[in-house]
Each structure stands twice: as C-alpha cells, then as structure tokens.
Amino acid sequence: MRRAAPTRSLAEAAGDTTYFCTADGEGNAVSGVQSINSGFGSGVIAGDTGILLNNRMSYWHLEPGHPNRLKPGRRVRHTMNPPLVLKDGRLWCVFGTPGADNQVQINLQVLSAMIDCGLDPQQAAEMPRCTSNVPGQYANWPHLGEDALTIERRFPEAVRRELKRRGHPVRTVGDLEGPCSVEIIRRDAPTGMLLAGSDPRRDGWALAW
C-alpha cells in the first residue's frame, strides 16, 4: 500500500496453469490442477467474484469428421490431468503438473519411473524427460505448433543421434529444461509415511507439517 507494484506485461506473466497436491496421515488426498487456459482466459469475470472464466472451448476442432469436433453433448478434450493412484484400494500417490499438451506425456513417464523403475518421488521428478508434439494435434486452436521431439540432453548422445537417424525431429534442451513441473506425494503402505518430490525445473516446494 506504500508503493506502486512493478508493471508486468502479459507476455511476462503468460503462465496460466498451476498444480498442487496434498495428503494426510488418514489416507485422504487431493490432486488439483487449475488453469484459465490463456492469458485472462475468456476475458469474462463471474459476476462480482473476481474469478476469471477459462476459454477451454478453444480446444475444440471444427473440421468435419474430426474426433474432437464441436458438437452438442460432447465434452472437450483438454490437457488438465491430475492423477490420483490407488493400490489395493488405498492411496498410493498423487501427482501432477502444469504444461499444456505435455502434461499427459510427462505424468506417464513419472508414474512409470516410480512403478517400473522403483524411483522415489524426487528421483522421478528429476529424471530426464522427453515429449513429442505434432502440428494439427496441439490442444489450442488453431492446433498448430512445431513438429518436435523435445528431449533433455541427459539422454545419451547415441540415443538422440539414432532418433534423428530414424527421422524424428529431435530438439535437444538443457539438462533440466524439459517441459512441465511435477509435484508428487507418495504413501508408503507398510509405514504410512508420506514421501514428497518437487520438480527443480520451475518454482515448486514439498512441505510437511
């Protein structure tokens, strides 16, 4: 109240999705992702609440015959993907991330890392990652974007070279510069202990109390 806030342009504050998860000792958990989709969403505020409405309808396709074509009674295909995983009917983990079209791909890699490779939550959050995006399949209208297999350089150079040889449009990024920002809580069934992991690629925290 004593000084003006610094001015920021929309381009500098273009992020629009956030993710959080929480769990308690009783096995209750929340996996929550929130997004208005693009800067200022639809530009419409819900009454006098100050809540911006999203513009997720930009995810629809209009081409005849497209499986995600805008039609009455359909739900739009969207990218928000906040997993909650059970094992033997009890909480095993909650996790998720912002990241548009990359969310589902990264969440699958993280889950596989914990289940198939036995990594703990922090190891799974920090492991090398890759995503594949194809023009015409991007979520937001007009569904365009680069044709790219984005892969962190911690993958062996021989692997990246072979992918290029096979015709994949490989785009190599830095060690921790891949997409998304995963947050994870996992429950150890025998002890009930909660284990947490936070992605170092963006701001994120793992807190316990």
Query: What was the pLDDT predicted at 141?
Result: 80
Query: What was the pLDDT predicted at 94?
Result: 96
17 noted as active-site residue = yes
Helical H runs in the chain?
103-115, 121-126, 157-165
Say how many C-beta atoms besides its own lie within 10 A of residue 32's C-beta.
Answer: 13
- Report yes or no on 64 lying in a domain: yes
- Report yes or no on 209 lying in a domain: no
Query: What was the pLDDT predicted at 137?
Result: 83
- pLDDT tens per residue across span 153-198: 999 999 999 999 999 999 999 999 999 999 999 999 888 899 999 9
- Report yes or no on 47 lying in a domain: yes
Domain of residue 111, residue span: 11-198
- Report yes or no on 208 lying in a domain: no
Residue reference for tokens 């990024």: 173
Q: How confident is the model at residue 8 (pLDDT cuts 50, 70, 90)?
A: low
Lowest mean pLDDT among 17-21, 58-62, 97-101: 58-62
Query: What was the pLDDT predicted at 17?
Result: 85
Residue-wise over 101-111: b if at least 16 C-beta within 10 A, else e? bbbebbbebbb
In degrees rounded to 5, what are phi and psi of residue 45?
-100, 140
DSSP letters for 30-88: EEEEEE-SSTTTTS-B-TTS-PBPP-GGGG-B-STT-TTB--TTPPPP------EEEET
165: domain CATH number is: 3.60.20.40
As a whole number, the mean pLDDT across the chain is 89
- pLDDT tens per residue across span 159-168: 999 999 999 9
How many separate domains does the chain show?
1
- Report yes or no on 31 lying in a domain: yes
- pLDDT tens per residue across span 106-153: 999 999 999 999 999 999 999 999 999 998 888 888 888 889 999 999
- Report yes or no on 74 lying in a domain: yes
Closest CA relative to residue 209, chosen from 7, 18, 22: 22
Tokens at 69, concatenated: 């074509």
Q: Classify the phi-psi angles of 157: left when phi > 0, otherwise alpha if psi is within -120 to 50, otherwise beta.
A: alpha
Selected catalytic residue, list 7, 17, 18, 49: 17
- Report yes or no on 4 lying in a domain: no
- Report yes or no on 165 lying in a domain: yes
In degrees rounded to 5, what are phi and psi of residue 21?
-140, 150
Q: How confident is the model at residue 19 (pLDDT cuts 50, 70, 90)?
A: very high
Radius of gyration of the chain (CA): 19
The pTM for the full model equals 0.82
In degrees rounded to 5, what are phi and psi of residue 170?
-70, 130
Residues in the chain, how many?
Answer: 209
Q: Are 69 and 87 in contact (CB under 8 A)?
A: no
